[in-house]
Structure 1
Amino acid sequence: MTTSATGMPFDDILSLIDQMAGPDEDARATVRARDAVLTKPAGSLGRLEDLAEWVAVWQRQAPPKVLRPLVAVFAGNHGVANQGVSAYPASVTQQMVENFAAGGAAVNQLCITNDLGLKVFDLALDFPTGDITREDAMDEMSCARTIAFGMEAIAGGTDLLCIGEMGIANTTIAAAIYAALFGGDAADWCGRGTGVDDEGLKRKVDAVEKALAFHDGNLDKPLEVLRRLGGREIAAMVGAILAARLQNIPVIVDGFVASSAAAVLYALDKAALDHCIFAHVSAESAHSRALDAMGVKALFDFGMRLGEGSGAALAAGIVKAAVQIHEGMATFEQASVDGPAEN
């Protein structure tokens, strides 16, 4: 589906969530039937078998296919960066976007390795969102328009979407979102992000505490949490995840910050992430806490904390392998291999 570039009020976004379809059980059954006769012991490929089934269920087709995988990286700047919560200046966001365009970032190399498309979206980097310690990050229309932009960002077509982000200070933003959605103290959700020292970490915790206090009484609705505490890149990822569901596209979510966008949708509807998998457990200390709160398990834990869709791009290679195994393996009959002995 295509949405208007002028944006949508929050009521219309909620209406789209109500339109989300559930899993395709016919596709699941077809995948399981084929898996049962492939030349391997039952269940011997473990989670790879689950991944092939997951792709088929949410693409609503069997066998599943990954022919046009896409990594979408959304970049935004944040007023709270002025609070000294990051080891890097806000100018690095734009510089890294240029590095993506030049092919020099880690995610570029992962996309080359796994034959993935890459699109990078600059979300008004010259105009940071409001400093959440003293004002709303966005007004409702701006937030809704950014969600709509994220929905349109995948309009070019893909059959497997990986979402990632770039934005100095956005681990502070994500920590504030998690605290508002899932409770706990600011310190429970704040880590060292880009590598802040002890004083930087204290400033980060202080900023999240101030933000939660400033917006207290107005954080009872997930979309209000997003607009008051979030960022444009996070709002755009919310839109991309939602649009993927409506367009039958499975989604791989990257790390700590990307998962905060998923958390907003989870808080709206616990089934809203059924078409998603989470790539990895970030080295950002609170990411495992967030995954637990959403009841999900990541594919791997490599101690990564880069962002920029790097974990999702790596996971996409695993998903592609799972799909290729399912489609390309011979059956016992095709290979003239004896199947399991009957007792």
Structure 2
Amino acid sequence: MSAAKPFDDVRDLAHRPASPDDGCSKQVYDALLGMGREGDFGKLGEAAAWLAGWQRRFPPRIESPTLAIYAGSHGISSNGVTLSSNESTREKVDALREGRAPLSAIAAQVGANIRVFELAIDKPTPNIAEEAAMSERECAATIAYGFEALEGQPDLIALGVVGAGIGTAAAAVACALYGGSPEYWVRPGPQVPKEMNAQRVEMVSQALKTHRGHLTDPLEALRCLGGRELAACVGTIIAARQQGVPVVLDGFATTIAAGIVHAINPLAIDHVRAAHVTQRPAHIAALERLGLSPLMEMEFNTGGGMGSAVAVGLLHTACAPFLGKPDRPDQ
């Protein structure tokens, strides 16, 4: 990326033309008509057509999925806005690397390769209520780092983030992207105490006031209010579109990352689907803004890639009718 105006390179890439192969999608729908009445397969058929189009092949198939987990830390987490801590982020990363996390078992079950990307966990971003989370150069470099999830040529990417305070940072970015009050976008799931929610609202309000002159541009909103995890997800989403790799979002934070890309170019998230919807009202609102319908409604309250990993299994199932009968041992 150029040193002078690094964000210009990001915008240019987000606007670079890329499209699915509509012929491959049509082959899915034609095949479905041969299996039953139109619409019989519901969202499963739609998912298969989406996969075929963006993989640009028929039949659609998932042979090398990557579960990309971005882990970071936030200075705002020390202000009473989260139930977890930067230390717990390190513990989660270690558990994933060592195969001890529940997510490790789910990924193995669905055949996904977990890749954990550490984003300076031991160096939290500044408190966004007081200063910008990143410089433009750092933000652009972190976006570029997100391109690394495409190494190894995966045919599907499932996103996840781990980081104490990421939900508050994402809520602040949502305020900048969509307007509305901090109270609206901070709205948590059922597990967050009222006092903590009030502190989140206060921190987001302060952050919006501190950076009010920089929030009309989505990349500036990311730089000032977001975090390294969001920036890396933005990079992955943009790069995946260029390479014809479908992307599955996890929870609220990854949805807001897609929202940043959408704000740059609404066509730049056509290759993206939402795995699920959490019980967090702000997640529902963000999906509505992007016109994304979740593949599942599992009532997950955990993040970190759990929902997107489970969705990989669902997408395997969506591909199955087009792959012929599996080999079975003689009986």
Bin of the TM-score, shorter chain as denominator length: over 0.9
Q: Aligned letter for 2:151?
A: A
Q: Aligned letter for 1:300?
A: M
Q: Aligned letter for 1:25?
A: D
Deviations 1:237-292 (A, max 9, x none): 00011111011001100011111111100111111111011011111221101111
Aligned to 2:57, which of 54, 61, 82? Answer: 61
Aligned residue for 1:333?
none
Aligned residue for 1:45?
41
The separation in 2 between residues aligned to 1:108 and 1:5, in whole angstroms, is 38
Q: Is the 8 A contact 1:177 1:226 kept in 2?
A: yes
The structural deviation recorded for 1:23 is 2.4
Counting only pairs closer than 5 Å after superposition, residues 48-197 of structure 1 correspond to structure 2 as 48-192=44-188, 195-197=191-193
Q: Is the 8 A contact 1:163 1:237 kept in 2?
A: yes
Q: 1:212 to 1:98 in 2, by over 3 A?
A: same
Q: Which SS does the other structure have where 1:44 is aligned?
A: coil
Q: 1:127 to 1:193 in 2, by over 3 A?
A: farther
Aligned residue for 1:210?
206
Structure 2 unpaired stretches of 5+ = 327-331
TM-score of the superposition, structure 2-length normalised?
0.94
Q: 1:111 to 1:6 in 2, by over 3 A?
A: farther
TM-score of the superposition, structure 1-length normalised?
0.91
Deviations 1:45-91 (A, max 9, x none): 11111111100100111111210011000001001112110112221
The structural deviation recorded for 1:7 is 11
Aligned residue for 1:307?
303
Q: Which SS does the other structure have where 2:214 is aligned?
A: coil
Q: 1:142 to 1:218 in 2, by over 3 A?
A: same
Q: Aligned letter for 1:326?
A: F
The structural deviation recorded for 1:102 is 1.7
1:324 is aligned to 2:320: yes
Aligned to 2:248, which of 246, 252, 267? Answer: 252
The separation in 2 between residues aligned to 1:190 and 1:110, in whole angstroms, is 29
1:10 is aligned to 2:7: yes
Deviations 1:26-60 (A, max 9, x none): 2122222222223x333321111111110010011
Please say which of residues 27-36 and 43-52 is displaced more in the overlay.
27-36
Aligned residue for 2:26?
29
1:198 is aligned to 2:182: no
Q: Is the 8 A contact 2:275 2:295 kept in 1?
A: yes
Q: Aligned letter for 2:292?
A: V
Q: Which SS does the other structure have where 2:308 is aligned?
A: helix
Q: Aligned letter for 1:211?
A: A
The separation in 2 between residues aligned to 1:272 and 1:305, in whole angstroms, is 28
Q: Is the 8 A contact 2:190 2:279 kept in 1?
A: no
The structural deviation recorded for 1:295 is 1.4
Q: Aligned letter for 1:45?
A: F
Aligned residue for 2:329?
none
Aligned residue for 1:338?
none
Q: Is the 8 A contact 1:71 1:163 kept in 2?
A: yes
List structure 1 segments (4+ residues) > 3 angstroms apart after TM superposition.
4-8, 191-196
Q: How many residues align?
A: 326
Percent same amino acid at aligned positions?
38
The separation in 1 between residues aligned to 2:296 and 2:228, in whole angstroms, is 28
Q: Aligned letter for 2:76?
A: V
Query: Over alpha carbons, which structure has the higher Rg?
Result: 1
Q: Aligned letter for 1:34?
A: A
RMSD (Å), alpha carbons = 1.9
Q: Is the 8 A contact 2:20 2:244 kept in 1?
A: no
